[in-house]
Amino acid sequence: MSHHEHDEHHYEDGTINPRRSGKLHYHEDEVRPLAADKLIHRQPHLDLHADKLTRKAARDIDIPLRTIQLHISELPPGMQSNLHKHHNEAAIYIVEGRGHSEVQGVKIPWEKGDFLFIPSMQWHTHVNSSDEPVLYLGITNKRMLDWLGLDRRVDAGINMPMEEVEKEIAAAKFSPYSYYSVNPTDGVRFGPEGFISHSD
Ligand SMILES: [Fe+2]
């Protein structure tokens, strides 16, 4: 390959993209200085559909943090995110709007300015029960767990109760170290979670 063209480990200008290159630490010569435009991601909430793999209005914040992942998500009025759980732990900051989450079956109302904590591997879903859009910032340790190969996620859709999902997982003897989806619409899917992907 000539000079890193279309190499996801590098930016187009040939400098290393620390998010993609598969190493947690670098010699300082490899990563400094980053071009000024790598130090800022301007107005990501204006481009919520930029992550092509997600059908949701959500995207990673594109700054090269190695251990922390940030994402911004919009939840339209009346919408609910899939019931899911993952090994990464998360803080959710409500930028706009109000609604509630269910965390391991417990309903937690929230509004603009609140921080919500999602512990590792607890089922959760976010609900916008208002008539205004909800915008929230997710802060997770997903990047660090990805480096270590340890972040896994379970998706269950919005209509399957937590107890039913657990029964199905137990019956199928899925490995807790696999990614799988038991969404009743999409069926069961296996495979590692994307190295970099939105996670709400
Ligand atoms: Fe989540």
State the Cα–Cα distance between residues 162 and 39, nearest whole angstrom: 40
- Residue 95 sits in the same domain as residue 108: yes
Query: ∠ CA(138), CA(141), CA(147), 5° rounding?
Result: 135
| pLDDT band for position 95 (cuts 50, 70, 90) | very high
- Residue 28 sits in the same domain as residue 48: no
Mean per-residue pLDDT for 139-148?
85
Cα of 123 to ligand 1 centre, how many Å?
8
Nearest by Cα to 197 from 167, 160, 163, 153: 153
pLDDT of residue 21: 59
pLDDT greater at residue 78 or residue 169: 78
Q: Which structural domain, as residue segments, surrounds residue 139?
A: 40-190
Cα of 25 to ligand 1 centre, how many Å?
27
State the Cα–Cα distance between residues 118 and 8, nearest whole angstrom: 31
Q: Please determine, for residue 186, whether its predicted confidence score (pLDDT) is greater than 60.
A: no
- Residue 66 sits in the same domain as residue 48: yes
Contact yes or no for 138/70 (Cβ under 8 A): yes
Structure tokens at 138: 């997710």
Residues within 5 Å of ion ligand 1 by Cβ?
200
Cα of 124 to ligand 1 centre, how many Å?
6
Cα of 6 to ligand 1 centre, how many Å?
31
Cα of 86 to ligand 1 centre, how many Å?
6
Indicate yes or no: pTM above 0.95. Answer: no
Structure tokens at 108: 């937690």
Q: Cis bond leading into 109, ω under 30°? A: no
pLDDT greater at residue 168 or residue 135: 135
- Residue 71 sits in the same domain as residue 164: yes
Number of helices followed by number of strands (H, E) in the chain: 3, 12
- Residue 21 sits in the same domain as residue 109: no
pLDDT (tens digit per residue) in 43-76: 999 988 887 666 678 888 988 888 899 999 999 9
Three-class secondary structure of residue 49 per DSSP: coil
State the Cα–Cα distance between residues 45 and 31, nearest whole angstrom: 27
Instruction: Lowest mean pLDDT of 47-51, 138-142, 146-150, name the range.
Output: 146-150
Q: Please determine, for residue 194, whether its predicted confidence score (pLDDT) is greater than 80.
A: no
- Residue 75 sits in the same domain as residue 88: yes
